[in-house]
Structure 1
Amino acid sequence: MADKEKYLISIIGEQTLDGETDKVEVLTSGNYMMKKNHCYIGYKEYDEENPNNHSDNLIKVEDDIVTIIRKGETQSRLMLEKGKRHQCLYQTIAGDLMIGVFTKTMKNTLNEKGGTLEVSYTLDFNTDLVSENRFKITVEEKNNRNED
């Protein structure tokens, strides 16, 4: 069977909450394609406590808008647009939340072969700041890696 997930996706995420920063790094296989100047990054995210549970993540990049869609046990849809605030639905096990997402910076160097996407944004609930966030996603074709 051919390897359908031909791309290596590296995600580095940071969240600062009450002055403390948590950093998460994920390296996974996934899919990537460019269609009509829009980029699509797809990958599965597994639950560390229950590896049988996973969510399907799709990141759509179009111009200055990044949409992150997570489908699984809980669902969310975050819309990130540089310099703008959007209300987004975020499902948790405890219930649904409407959160505000304000995108501060966005740097996109994605092209037909991969590249990077860097975004920094804030999350707020009832206009009260909840956290400062940033992520960097790097996409590269698996067969282009020279380190192996």
Structure 2
Amino acid sequence: MRNTDQEKLPVLLRIRGEQYFDGIDPDQTELMTEGTLELTEQGLRLSYEETALTGMEGTTTTFAVEGGRVTLTRSGTVNSQMIFEEGRQHTSLYETPYGELAVDVQTSRLRHNLTERGGIMEIQYSIAVEHTVTGRNCFKIRVKRK
């Protein structure tokens, strides 16, 4: 991948999230927001600011996409890191106002066709908090250059 001097390209993001819990209808959210897309040595980085709508105002969310691995980092009022790698489980710490929780993330599907022109990323995963599965999640992010 060529070096673009870490140029941050303005993008429009459409983020759709679904959460599934046993015996309950799926919870769906959809967010349209502006962000930046940046090419890196390892792949690309997608960043946006959370809003009051997501309950995480004052937080920056970043997806570092490096081949078959995606690292989601939140920093600001909410601090956390989750690693998604298809067929693998990663444990991370999730910081809350009440302390830290160990969160196991098991990724069942990770697909993306992201380039500097945009694209789509889809991640399906389940989360276990303190080793108890709390639900299955899926999110799809559409990235369009502005």
What TM-score do you get using the length of structure 2 for normalisation?
Answer: 0.87
Partner of 1:36: 41
Aligned match for 1:57, one of 55, 58, 61: 61
Question: C-alpha distance in 2, partners of 1:125/1:45?
Answer: 23
Paired position in structure 2 for 1:48: 53
Distance 1:49 1:98 in 2: 22
After superposition, the CA RMSD in angstroms is 1.9
User: Runs ≥4 in structure 1, deviation > 4 angstroms?
Assistant: none
Separation in 2, partners of 1:49, 1:41: 17
**8 Å contact 1:5–1:29 — kept in the other structure?**
no
Which 5+ residue runs of structure 1 have no aligned equivalent? 143-148
1:33 maps to a residue whose letter is E
CA, structure 1 residues 83+12, in 2 after alignment: closer, same or farther (shift >3 Å)?
same
Q: CA–CA distance in 2 between the matches of 1:83 and 1:60?
A: 18
| Structure 2 gap ranges (5+) | 1-7
Matches of 1:133 and 1:19, distance apart in 2 = 15
Q: Give secondary structure in 1 for the equivalent of 2:53.
A: coil
Q: Which residue of structure 1 lines up, in the alignment, with residue 94 of structure 2?
A: 90
Q: How many matched pairs?
A: 138
Q: Which amino acid in 2 is paired with 1:7?
A: V
Q: Percent identity among equivalent residues?
A: 31
Displacement of 1:92 after TM fit? 1.7
**Partner residue in 2 for 1:145:** none
Task: After TM superposition, give the deviation of residue 39 of structure 1 in Å.
Answer: 1.3
Give the structure-1-normalised TM-score. Answer: 0.86
